[in-house]
């Protein structure tokens, strides 16, 4: 033991021993004792240092950083060891704009997977679709780098070119795409309108899409609902497809448009036995304008994540909406950024809690299950993305895009029409009173 502690990595071992000692009681309670594993770690570390053929790749900093990256990445796709440059980018407040190609990605089944594609961004114009696997960024294989490094490679300055090689699982295609990074303005609520009679028949069914949850989302949605109500809206479709999430407070406020003030719509719970109690989120009366009690459908797909799952899961549990589409992504966890003292700006992002719907159903890794399942084939997925970005197309192409019949919207409309017909037939009769009656 004296020989081991005389090694240069004494600081690392001392840190591990200190960590072990400070949490020994908890580990013992859980039936764990990590002392032997800590000794194994330090032995392997020194063996690599002594025998690896390329010494420049086996510095203490490189080895420890790699170990930390693997340690965090193995927990779940959302945990991350962050170098100072990544941490600095995360801390930057970009308000309503960001620079890039307009996609969100995550590691799914050990593949770098496109979760959402902004229809007004360079990636959408190049033909990238949600669900595509990114195999290469320029000439670098994504399987050779971690998630955080791959995201850094996707970012860049406006005007810089980028080449992606992707595999489309739905068709097996291998596709190369080129695009130019740009400044992207993040819009929130879009396509506020009454649906065409081809979907609704004699009924007036409103529709709006939330692209992401940002600070003004709830107000924009409330303004849109006011407008549609003035036009005689009887029911409403809230489209959350391809919505990657955003601000949790904004999602709670959106729920508040459809349920009474003070309603519990979400709880977050940490590790069992954690001293931090569950956090309860209720809707607020602060910005609520009126009760909106008409029937609602929420549309979900495999790219609906995080805050969009919170909204759909809460309204579904509270019997306030019917969910139509496919199972959502399953990102229902809370990440805390923990700076590492004395590390020159390094930090870890750690999953510290999970989201639970009002019925105490966890969203994480499960997603929200639709009440009515409606899937789209690859051709319909592509046509839907074209319809989303129809405003950017040439007049002729836009006319073709607008002819798309969306099977999920069609099924949602059918469900709402059924609810409206049933409700009208079961309304209690109102007795008329004449002036002679008391």
Return d(Cα 158, Cα 179) in angstroms, integer.
11
Q: Answer for the pair 371, 322: CB distance below 8 angstroms, yes or no.
A: yes
Q: Answer for the pair 259, 310: CB distance below 8 angstroms, yes or no.
A: no
Residue with tokens 């309860």: 280
Return d(Cα 381, Cα 375) in angstroms, integer.
9
Handedness of CA 145, 150, 156, 159 (dihedral sign): positive
Choice among 132, 331, 413, 417 that is catalytic: 331
Q: Answer for the pair 239, 207: CB distance below 8 angstroms, yes or no.
A: yes
Q: Is 306 a catalytic residue?
A: yes
Cα 167 → chain centroid: 22
Residues 75, 81, 86: CA angle, nearest 5 degrees: 135
Handedness of CA 318, 319, 321, 324 (dihedral sign): positive
Strand ranges for 222-368 from DSSP E: 235-239, 264-269, 279-282, 296-300, 322-325, 333-339, 347-356
- Residue 292 CB burial class (10 angstroms; 0-12, 13-18, ≥19): middle
- Distances in whole angstroms, Cα of residue 66 to Cα of each of 83, 111, 112: 11, 19, 19
- Residue 59 pairs in a beta bridge with none
Q: Answer for the pair 151, 180: CB distance below 8 angstroms, yes or no.
A: no
Q: Is 333 a catalytic residue?
A: no
Return d(Cα 115, Cα 118) in angstroms, integer.
10
Q: Which two tokens stand for residue 300?
A: 């979900």
Return d(Cα 369, Cα 323) in angstroms, integer.
8
Q: What are phi and psi of 72, to 5 degrees?
A: -70, -45
Choice among 317, 328, 333, 417 that is catalytic: 317
Q: Answer for the pair 186, 98: CB distance below 8 angstroms, yes or no.
A: yes
Which residues in 186-212 are b (16+ Cβ under 10 Å) and which e?
A: bbbbbebebbeeebbeebbbbbbbbbb
Q: Is 317 a catalytic residue?
A: yes
Three-state secondary-structure class, residue 222 = helix
Choice among 106, 306, 328, 413 that is catalytic: 306
Q: Answer for the pair 120, 166: CB distance below 8 angstroms, yes or no.
A: no
Which residues does the annotation mark as catalytic?
306, 317, 331
């Amino acid at each position: 033991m004296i020989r081991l502690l005389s090694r240069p990595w004494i600081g690392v071992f001392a840190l591990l021993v200190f960590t072990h000692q400070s949490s020994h009681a908890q580990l013992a309670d859980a039936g764990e004792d990590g002392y032997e594993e800590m000794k194994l770690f330090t032995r392997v570390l020194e063996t690599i240092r002594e025998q690896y053929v390329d010494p420049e790749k086996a510095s203490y900093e490189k080895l420890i950083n790699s170990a930390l990256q693997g340690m965090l990445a193995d927990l779940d796709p959302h945990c991350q060891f962050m170098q100072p440059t990544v941490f600095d980018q995360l801390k930057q407040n970009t308000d309503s704009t960001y620079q890039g190609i307009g996609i969100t990605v995550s590691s799914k089944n050990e593949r770098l997977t496109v979760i959402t594609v902004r229809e007004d961004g360079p990636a959408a114009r190049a033909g990238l679709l949600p669900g595509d696997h990114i195999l290469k960024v320029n000439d670098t294989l994504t399987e050779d780098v971690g998630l955080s490094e791959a995201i850094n490679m996707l970012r860049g300055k406006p005007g810089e070119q980028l080449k992606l090689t992707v595999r489309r699982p739905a068709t097996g295609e291998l596709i190369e795409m080129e695009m130019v990074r740009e400044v992207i303005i993040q819009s929130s609520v879009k396509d506020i309108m009454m649906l065409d009679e081809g979907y609704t028949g004699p009924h007036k069914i409103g529709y709006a899409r939330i692209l992401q949850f940002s600070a003004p989302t709830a107000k924009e949605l409330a303004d849109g609902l006011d407008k549609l109500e003035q036009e005689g809206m009887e029911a409403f479709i809230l489209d959350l497809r391809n919505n990657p999430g955003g601000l949790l407070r904004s999602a709670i406020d959106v729920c508040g448009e459809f349920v009474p003030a003070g309603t519990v719509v979400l709880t977050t719970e940490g590790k069992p036995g954690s001293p931090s109690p569950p956090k309860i989120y209720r809707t607020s009366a602060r910005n609520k304008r009126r009760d909106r009690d008409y029937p609602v459908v929420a549309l979900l797909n495999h790219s609906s994540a995080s805050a969009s799952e919170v909204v759909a899961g809460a309204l579904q549990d509270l019997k306030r909406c019917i969910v139509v589409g496919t199972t959502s992504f399953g990102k229902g966890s809370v990440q805390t950024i923990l700076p590492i003292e004395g590390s020159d700006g390094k930090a870890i992002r750690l999953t510290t809690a999970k989201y639970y719907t009002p019925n105490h159903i966890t969203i994480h890794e499960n997603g929200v299950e639709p009440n009515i399942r409606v899937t789209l084939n690859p051709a319909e997925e592509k046509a839907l993305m074209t319809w989303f970005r129809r405003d950017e197309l040439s007049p002729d192409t836009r006319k073709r895009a607008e002819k798309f019949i969306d099977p999920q919207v069609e099924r949602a409309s059918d469900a709402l029409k059924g609810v409206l017909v049933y409700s009208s037939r079961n309304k209690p009769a109102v007795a008329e009173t004449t002036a002679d009656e008391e």
